[in-house]
């Protein structure tokens, strides 16, 4: 288990007006949406906006797929851009699109958005995916495929959910489209040597990102109770693949509240399932790779469409996240057993020498198919500009193909 099991409470239908989780201003939706309220354990509730597709699938009475859309959060939040993005998604995808209005502010800090997104995901699984006609003990009662998308903070939360809600044999996330994701709250600095993917990078270009990185550091202090909290892999999902590269601050003697306690339990549960044999007792100061996911977790990583802008302050971590993700997908792509669920051997770096040229080509092809990254000029935002709408449409078309390969 990755996280503690939760019961999704009954929902209450609200008005169709859009609300903004980070201010009191309200916006009207250009397309009718069903608003649903979902309880989040004992920490209040969130709202979900359920949008129906413009062209639903004609051969299904009930869709077996759905898309979760996560807004940017308090970083460059724009309800108008969300509305534009969802309209494009509705025109391309034949399934429901659910906007998860997670909470994040100076008064509702981490881990609140993590639990909000998990609760929204649970609601979608339980209420939008059809049930099996015949139940069986030990098997999920629902069937279907889910996708998720988001950018900036929403992209980081989408990455977290994609890496943890992809269990073999269960309905879960099979595709994620993320743009400029914030996947590492720890190292909000330009890495030594500058950005690596573009050899034409100049020091001045790296220097131009420093003010934005400083603003992110200021925002981090407002959105986390204490530094220890952003060393959590649920908040900084790049930590699933490597160590922090910095000394982890001491944990508080006692959790501050019930939500902190639940987050601590989830973190401990994940660590218990992982192979801890190679992890030293004291946190390393250099970034050490982790073998995620371990076979014990029974996870099958979904496909990723990742994009970043050359001037985005999250560009460097997006590139590193993509590299680590590709390595992990390569390890999973080689199956050394006839059993699809239990006999899979994870491919480690040192095993590649045992593979033949043809097998290596197959692994590389699988990685290229499952993890795609586009580096775009400028900020590469998903917004209502012509270029922004084009980027959203490209992501939506990729999501459609991932959810409906034969469509």
pLDDT digit string (tens) for 4-39? 444 444 333 333 223 334 443 333 345 679 999 999
When pLDDT is averaged across residues 47-67 and rounded to a whole number, the result is 85
Residue 3, domain member (yes or no): no
Strand partners, 18: 27
Predicted local confidence at residue 275, as pLDDT? 47
For residue range 296-355, what is the model confidence (pLDDT) as tens digits? 999 999 999 999 999 999 999 999 999 999 999 999 886 533 344 444 444 445 455 555
Tokens of 208: 């131009």
Residue 214, domain member (yes or no): yes
Residue 204, domain member (yes or no): yes
What CA–CA distance (Å, rounded) separates 173 from 283? 31
Percentage of residues in the chain having pLDDT higher than 70: 69
When pLDDT is averaged across residues 374-379 and rounded to a whole number, the result is 93
Residue 392, domain member (yes or no): yes
- Which is more confident, 180 or 59? 180
Number of structural domains (the chain) is 1
- Residues spanned by the domain of 294: 12-132+141-403
Confidence of residue 267 (pLDDT cuts 50, 70, 90): low
What CA–CA distance (Å, rounded) separates 49 from 145? 19
Residue 331, domain member (yes or no): yes
Does residue 95 surpass a pLDDT of 60? yes
Residue 54, domain member (yes or no): yes
When pLDDT is averaged across residues 63-84 and rounded to a whole number, the result is 94
Angle at 65 between CA 60 and CA 70, to 5 degrees: 145
Tokens of 277: 């044999």
Predicted local confidence at residue 57, as pLDDT? 74
Residue 5, domain member (yes or no): no
Task: Give me the CATH number covering residue 28.
Answer: 3.40.50.1820
Task: Write down the mean pLDDT value for the chain.
Answer: 80
- Which is more confident, 101 or 361? 101
Best CA proximity match to 69, nearest among 148, 143, 15, 130? 148
Residue 7, domain member (yes or no): no
In angstroms and rounded to an integer, the radius of gyration of the C-alpha atoms of the chain is 21
Q: Is 283 helix (H, G, I), strand (E, B) or coil?
A: coil
- Which is more confident, 363 or 128? 128
């Amino acid at each position: 288990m990755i996280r503690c099991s939760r019961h999704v409470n009954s929902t209450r239908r609200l008005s169709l007006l859009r609300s903004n989780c980070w201010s009191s201003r309200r916006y009207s939706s250009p397309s009718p949406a069903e608003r649903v309220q979902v309880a989040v354990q004992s920490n209040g509730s969130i709202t979900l906006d359920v949008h129906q597709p413009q062209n639903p699938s004609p051969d299904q009475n009930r869709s077996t797929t759905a898309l979760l859309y996560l807004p940017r959060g308090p970083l460059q939040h724009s309800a108008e851009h969300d509305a534009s993005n969802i309209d494009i998604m509705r025109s391309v995808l034949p399934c429901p699109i659910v906007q998860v209005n997670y909470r994040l502010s100076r008064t509702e800090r981490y881990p609140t958005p993590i639990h909000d997104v998990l609760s929204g995901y649970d609601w979608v699984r339980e209420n939008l995916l059809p049930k099996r006609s015949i139940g069986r003990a030990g098997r999920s009662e629902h069937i279907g495929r889910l996708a998720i998308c988001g950018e900036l903070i929403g992209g980081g939360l989408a990455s977290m959910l994609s890496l943890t809600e992809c269990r073999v044999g269960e309905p879960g996330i099979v595709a994620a489209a993320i743009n400029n994701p914030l996947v590492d709250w720890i190292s909000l600095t330009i890495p030594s040597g500058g950005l690596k993917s573009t050899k034409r990078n100049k020091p001045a270009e790296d220097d131009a990102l420093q003010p934005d990185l400083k603003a992110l550091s200021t925002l981090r202090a407002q959105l986390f109770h204490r530094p220890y909290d952003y060393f959590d892999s649920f908040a900084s999902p790049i930590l699933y693949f490597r160590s922090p590269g910095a000394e982890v601050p001491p944990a508080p003697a006692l959790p501050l509240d019930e939500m902190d306690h639940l987050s601590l339990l989830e973190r401990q549960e994940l660590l218990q399932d992982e192979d801890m044999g190679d992890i030293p007792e004291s946190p390393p100061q250099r970034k050490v790779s982790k073998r995620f996911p371990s076979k014990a977790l029974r996870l099958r990583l979904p496909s990723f469409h990742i994009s970043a802008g050359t001037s985005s302050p999250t560009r460097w971590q997006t590139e590193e996240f993509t590299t680590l993700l590709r390595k992990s997908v390569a390890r999973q792509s080689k199956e050394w057993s006839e059993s699809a669920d239990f006999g899979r051997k994870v491919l480690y770096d040192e095993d590649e020498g045992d593979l033949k040229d043809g097998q290596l080509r197959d692994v590389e092809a699988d990685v290229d198919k499952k993890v795609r990254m586009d580096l775009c000029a400028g900020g590469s935002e998903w917004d209502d500009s012509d270029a922004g709408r084009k980027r959203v449409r490209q992501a939506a078309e990729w999501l459609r193909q991932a959810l409906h390969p034969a469509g």
